[in-house]
Structure 1
Amino acid sequence: MRVKKQRRHRKSVRFYTACFGFRQPFKILCDGTFVHHLIANNIKPADNALSTILTGAPVKLFTTRCVLAELKRLGSSYYQALEAAHQLITARCDHEKSRSADACITEIIGQNNPEHFFVASQDTDLRKKFHEVPGVPVIFALRNSLFLEPPSSFQRQFVKTSEQERMHMTEREYKMLQKTRSADEEANDSSSEKEAVVDQKIGMQDLAKPQTARKGMDVKDKVQFKRKKAKGPNPLSCKKKKSCEKPSVVLEKVKKDGENSVRSRRKRKRSRGGKKLAEKDG
């Protein structure tokens, strides 16, 4: 049951923060009945108990001078509640004469709760009244536990209608759009007229030019393709040429080699040892 309660409170806090702009630290406006209930049921400290309801966010507790005056009028039975209420921050209410707590709080909240107050009260009539005001979360207590009321059907419907209105243009926005469109059309008309005048001037200049210039212009307007010329081989990828000697030089070398061989044959002499061996054998 406690987990369901926490989920419900978390959803309510998200609703008010997303749709009505509530921000931390949350401000809680307490009346005398709520302060008296906290003291009678020994719910201390009050700021920690209220912080646990609002997803652990920091809170600031407020009251009004009219609430303090009402607690003072109730007598000694509400003396402790009066002392506890004096420790809270007093919200500004511009009342020359003290009013009832309900009237004072409803005037501070107004029609749209500009200060983003959470209202903590035990008065059922006051709580029902704030169900019909957009953006007013209500806190109440039952014995030792505190509760945050879920958003009313009126508040949910108010959020839906406001979102639909944002999606559509207002009359003022529609008029501004028409003005901008008319201004754009006028600008386009003037620019088209200027372009037409410029085109006429260019046409007259073309007629005034001689035929040779026209032919030159016609040739230049055509697409011209450059022919790729044959290029030589890459010198880095080619092998080096072998040095070839002249044939005459080669023949001379061959002749010289032949003559040297003939001379060597002619100069060769037989050894005498062979003859001596032949004579001995004979």
Structure 2
Amino acid sequence: MRLKKQKRHRRTVKFYTACFGFHEPFKVLCDGTFVHHLLVNRIIPADTALSNTLGATVKIFTTRCVLAELRSLGDSYSESLNEARKLMIARCEHEKRKSAVACITEVIGESNPEHFFIATQDADLRKKFQEIPGVPVIFGLRNALFLEQPSAFQHKFAKSAEKDRSHMTQLEYKMLNMSKKKQLATEEEEDSSDVNEGVEGQISGCQALKTNNTRKRTDVKDKVQFKRKKAKGPNPLSCKKKKSQGNLNLTSEKENNHGDGTLRSRSRKRKRSHKSMKFVVTTG
């Protein structure tokens, strides 16, 4: 059952984050009944229990009117009052003290701009917030915490809001029309400039033809006639001098003659010294 509960809670948290813009750390607004339930059932610490329920880090808030209501209930709620004072205080903009239900409904308003999760044990308050879009409700049952599923009204509101986001608003239509007009004006300017350039090009072409015809008649040579470069000889520094045949013959003779005029063969044979073999004759 725990796995099913966790999956259900994750699904509801994803619904509120995707459709209504909730983000971490999640803000939880508690009333006096919820704080008292946590203490009675020993669901301590409260921040870890709420973070396990929502699957993310949380910040727990309350209001001054909730603290005043707990103070008015007497000594039986003194421990709950001390624990509620440790929580962060959300702003409630009214001068006189109101009931906790009226204060919390005023803080939430019609669209829950602060993205609060409401934690309460009041059944009437839970039903009331089911009819307001984007208000998730947390309640306790014995020693466990539960996140209520989104109501049918909240699902319908989310679908209608998604359709509205897909369509363009009047401001966006005006901006689009203005951009189209600017684009058309720039295109017209470019077309007119292209036409003017074409006319100027035709005029300049006609003038060039006239000047060419006049030049042909007068036989005036505008271009300078350059002299052709003659083929030059090779660089003497890069050329090797030819060797004479006489020198080649002398070098060959020097290589062939060896000391006393005999021809020297290139392949030398190794001279081996044959030692005389001595045979020992044995007399029988």
Give the TM-score normalised by structure 2.
0.70
Give 2:134's aligned amino acid. G
User: RMSD between aligned alpha carbons?
Assistant: 1.8
- How far 1:81 sits from its partner (Å)? 1.6
Q: Name the residue aligned to 1:36.
A: 36
Give 2:101's aligned amino acid. D
Q: Name the residue aligned to 2:111.
A: 112
- How far 1:6 sits from its partner (Å)? 0.8
Q: Name the residue aligned to 1:65.
A: 64
Question: Separation in 2 of the partners of 1:212 and 1:79?
Answer: 110
- How far 1:155 sits from its partner (Å)? 1.9
Superposed CA deviations along residues 3-55 of structure 1, whole A, max 9, x for unmatched, are 11110001111222222222222221100111111222222222222121112
Question: Separation in 2 of the partners of 1:204 and 1:45?
Answer: 91
Question: Separation in 2 of the partners of 1:186 and 1:147?
Answer: 61
For residue 42 of structure 1, give the secondary structure of its aligned residue in structure 2: coil
- How far 1:174 sits from its partner (Å)? 0.9
Question: Separation in 1 of the partners of 2:166 and 2:25?
Answer: 31
- How far 1:86 sits from its partner (Å)? 1.5
1:74 aligns with 2:84: no
- How far 1:132 sits from its partner (Å)? 2.1
- How far 1:204 sits from its partner (Å)? 2.1
Question: Separation in 1 of the partners of 2:85 and 2:4?
Answer: 35
Question: Separation in 2 of the partners of 1:127 and 1:70?
Answer: 19
Question: Separation in 1 of the partners of 2:88 and 2:203?
Answer: 85
Structure 2 CA distance for partners of 1:84 and 1:210, relative to 1, 3 Å: closer
Question: Separation in 2 of the partners of 1:173 and 1:166?
Answer: 12
Q: Name the residue aligned to 2:189.
A: 190
Question: Separation in 2 of the partners of 1:178 and 1:29?
Answer: 45
Q: Name the residue aligned to 2:140.
A: 141
Q: How many residues align?
A: 213
Question: Separation in 2 of the partners of 1:210 and 1:47?
Answer: 92
Q: Name the residue aligned to 2:52.
A: 52
Structure 2 CA distance for partners of 1:153 and 1:202, relative to 1, 3 Å: same
User: 5+ unaligned residues in a row in structure 2: which ranges?
Assistant: 214-284
Q: Name the residue aligned to 2:89.
A: 90
Give 2:4's aligned amino acid. K
For residue 121 of structure 2, give the secondary structure of its aligned residue in structure 1: coil
Give 2:7's aligned amino acid. R
Q: Name the residue aligned to 1:129.
A: 128
Question: Separation in 2 of the partners of 1:197 and 1:68?
Answer: 81
Question: Separation in 1 of the partners of 2:25 and 2:77?
Answer: 29
- How far 1:143 sits from its partner (Å)? 1.5
Give the TM-score normalised by structure 1.
0.71
Question: Identity across aligned pairs (percent)?
Answer: 57
Question: Separation in 1 of the partners of 2:102 and 2:212?
Answer: 94
Question: Separation in 2 of the partners of 1:213 and 1:131?
Answer: 91
Question: Separation in 1 of the partners of 2:200 and 2:51?
Answer: 80
Question: Separation in 2 of the partners of 1:6 and 1:128?
Answer: 23
For residue 111 of structure 1, give the secondary structure of its aligned residue in structure 2: coil
Superposed CA deviations along residues 90-120 of structure 1, whole A, max 9, x for unmatched, are 2222222110001111111122222221100
Q: Name the residue aligned to 2:24.
A: 24
For residue 76 of structure 2, give the secondary structure of its aligned residue in structure 1: helix
Please list, as runs of the form range in 1=range in 2, the aligned pairs for 1:253-264 lying within 5 A after superposition: none
Q: Name the residue aligned to 2:3.
A: 3
Give 2:148's aligned amino acid. E
Question: Separation in 1 of the partners of 2:138 and 2:124?
Answer: 13
